[in-house]
Chains A and B, each alone.
Chain A
Amino acid sequence: AQTVTQSQPEMSVQEAETVTLSCTYDTSESDYYLFWYKQPPSRQMILVIRQEAYKQQNATENRFSVNFQKAAKSFSLKISDSQLGDAAMYFCAYRSGYQGAQKLVFGQGTRLTINP
């Protein structure tokens, strides 16, 4: 079974600075998807960024980018120019590449605080 590990329960960063959240995963599959989700106090799960394992290029969405190291099974999220609205729980998640709808396996989460 696949597992996802986030080793940082909490992180904090000064507004406008850059922060990196860590995520490692364990799988024997070669085809899969990785995600970062954000959960603010509203409870709504918001997709931040997605990475297909077969793509070597790291995904980027505006101020959010990932460092995907497939051999090391590492998938970190970098947030540049941190804003107060970035404060939330961040979850790393894994999806098998098998055909058909598949469940997400989540990491334990990292609580990100932005200091003004």
Chain B
Amino acid sequence: SAVISQKPSRDICQRGTSLTIQCQVDSQVTMMFWYRQQPGQSLTLIATANQGSEATYESGFVIDKFPISRPNLTFSTLTVSNMSPEDSSIYLCSVEMRAGGYTFGSGTRLTVV
């Protein structure tokens, strides 16, 4: 299965600033998924990133707040913009290598102060 390198693993940021999270996959994948996991909660999909086209965002998430880049088939970034304390969460990227074969990054724990 694929291996995903996600960074940073954690960060503490000032409100009003932005943080960019990177995910590098060791093989080519068509789609990458970005999830948010708020404290004590489950994973919620933010968007699906397809190489060569704009990301598809889920209800409640907008591109201005969570811009995504997907420059090639092995790499993607998620930016959390104009952060507030409510953005404090774990952010995870994921890919599906085959039907039912999902791999996740190790997650980025973001704290906004």
Contacts of A43 in B (CB 8 A): 90, 92, 106-107, 109
CA distance A57 to B102 in the complex (A): 22
Binary contact readout B17-43 vs A (1 if CB under 8 angstroms, 0 otherwise): 000000000000111010000000111
Please tell me the size bucket of the interface on B. Answer: 20 to 34
Chain A interface (Cβ within 8 Å of chain B)?
33, 35, 42-45, 47, 50, 52, 91, 95, 100-109
CB nearest to A99 among chain B residues? B99
CA distance A39 to B25 in the complex (A): 20
Known pairs A33-B99, A44-B106; A91 contacts B45 (CB<8 A)? no
Q: Is B100 touching A95 in the complex (CB atoms < 8 A)?
A: yes
Known pairs A43-B90, A91-B43; A104 contacts B102 (CB<8 A)? yes
Contacts of B43 in A (CB 8 A): 45, 91, 104, 106
The reply on B76 being an interface residue by CB < 8 A is no
Listed by A's residue number, 30 A-B pairs whose Cβ atoms lie within 8 Å are A33-B99, A35-B100, A43-B90, A43-B92, A43-B106, A43-B109, A44-B104, A45-B92, A45-B94, A50-B100, A52-B100, A91-B42, A91-B43, A95-B99, A100-B30, A101-B29, A101-B30, A101-B95, A101-B96, A103-B33, A103-B45, A104-B33, A104-B43, A104-B45, A104-B94, A104-B102, A105-B45, A106-B44, A107-B42, A108-B41
